[in-house]
């Protein structure tokens, strides 16, 4: 398998003649600071199909990309540290990269953070933090987060129950891209809550709101 080398300045990669032009372009762009190319280069090293697999180099290039503004790289690093497929699991480091990706607007990272704090397996359970991240993801247009956030508002998890606000988010979720299972859950929750709000005077809502305990995926 061909092997490349880098000069000391890490700016001018040298390749064997067998490298395709497309591959050389990725190496060159990555060295010049292109986050997308750095993600691609990290994947090349991770898979080991063009050059020998090198997890350390893969992580190095993913980190460069993430620090350079690539939310995709941040999510990739988080997944690597959560799965433990290539090296030991490290939930704390994974959460750090998820937060980095979330800070760049990645709603999948926000949703994942919400799930982590809601379940309490990879970090101490904190419904307030879970609600915070689900809300951010929901506002960013993540349909699954809209469903979960709506259910949390309905059930008063991490916040005082707010059925009318919950209905707004459940309605938005039904208009988005959900799995068949989650869509059925969202439609059922929306219809049930709509009927409940029709039948229950505002003064009695807090005392009589009943929930079904559904949990979105």
pLDDT at 24: 86
Domain residues for 12?
A: 1-104
Would 44 be classed as within a structural domain?
A: yes
- The CA distance from 65 to 154, in Å, is 39
- The CA distance from 128 to 51, in Å, is 45
Would 184 be classed as within a structural domain?
A: no
Would 201 be classed as within a structural domain?
A: no
Would 12 be classed as within a structural domain?
A: yes
CB 98 within 8 A of CB 74: yes
DSSP 156: T
Would 89 be classed as within a structural domain?
A: yes
- Residue 5 φ then ψ, to 5°: -140, 160
Would 135 be classed as within a structural domain?
A: no
DSSP 121: S
> Which of 55, 52, 50, 6 has the alpha carbon at shortest distance from 32?
6
Sign of CA dihedral 194, 118, 158, 168: negative
Judging by beta carbons within 10 Å of its beta carbon (0-12, 13-18, 19+), is residue 174 exposed, middle or buried?
buried
Q: CATH number of the domain that 77 lies in?
A: 1.25.40.10
Number of domains in the chain: 1
Q: pTM for the full model? A: 0.84
Would 197 be classed as within a structural domain?
A: no
User: What are the average pLDDT values for consecutive 10-residue runs of the chain, which has 217 residues?
Assistant: 44 59 89 96 91 92 97 97 92 98 98 98 97 98 98 95 96 97 98 93 58 57
pLDDT at 49: 81
Would 7 be classed as within a structural domain?
A: yes
User: What are the residues facing 55 on neighbouring strands?
Assistant: none
User: What are the residues facing 5 on neighbouring strands?
Assistant: 14
CB 114 within 8 A of CB 130: yes
pLDDT at 40: 96
- Residue 9 φ then ψ, to 5°: -85, -5
Give 129-132 contacts, CB < 8 A, sequence gap 24+. Answer: 130/158, 131/157, 131/158, 131/159
């Amino acid at each position: 398998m061909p092997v490349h080398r880098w000069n000391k300045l890490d700016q001018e990669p040298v390749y064997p003649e067998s490298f395709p032009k497309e591959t050389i372009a990725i190496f060159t762009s990555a060295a010049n600071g292109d986050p997308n190319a750095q993600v691609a280069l990290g994947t090349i090293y991770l898979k080991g199909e063009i050059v020998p697999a090198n997890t350390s180099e893969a992580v190095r290039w993913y980190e460069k990309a993430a620090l350079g503004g690539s939310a995709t790289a941040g999510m990739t690093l988080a997944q690597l540290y959560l799965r433990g497929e290539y090296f030991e699991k490290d939930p704390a480091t994974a959460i750090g990269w998820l937060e980095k990706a979330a800070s760049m607007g990645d709603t999948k990272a926000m949703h994942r953070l919400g799930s982590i704090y809601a379940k309490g397996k990879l970090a101490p359970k904190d419904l307030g933090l879970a609600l915070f991240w689900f809300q951010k993801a929901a506002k960013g247009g993540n349909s699954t987060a809209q469903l979960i956030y709506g259910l949390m508002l309905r059930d008063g998890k991490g916040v005082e129950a707010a059925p009318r606000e919950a209905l707004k988010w459940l309605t938005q979720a039904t208009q988005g891209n959900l799995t068949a299972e989650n869509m059925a859950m969202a439609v059922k929750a929306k219809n049930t809550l709509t009927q409940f709000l029709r039948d229950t005077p505002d003064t009695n809502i807090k005392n009589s709101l009943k929930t079904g305990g559904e949990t979105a995926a």
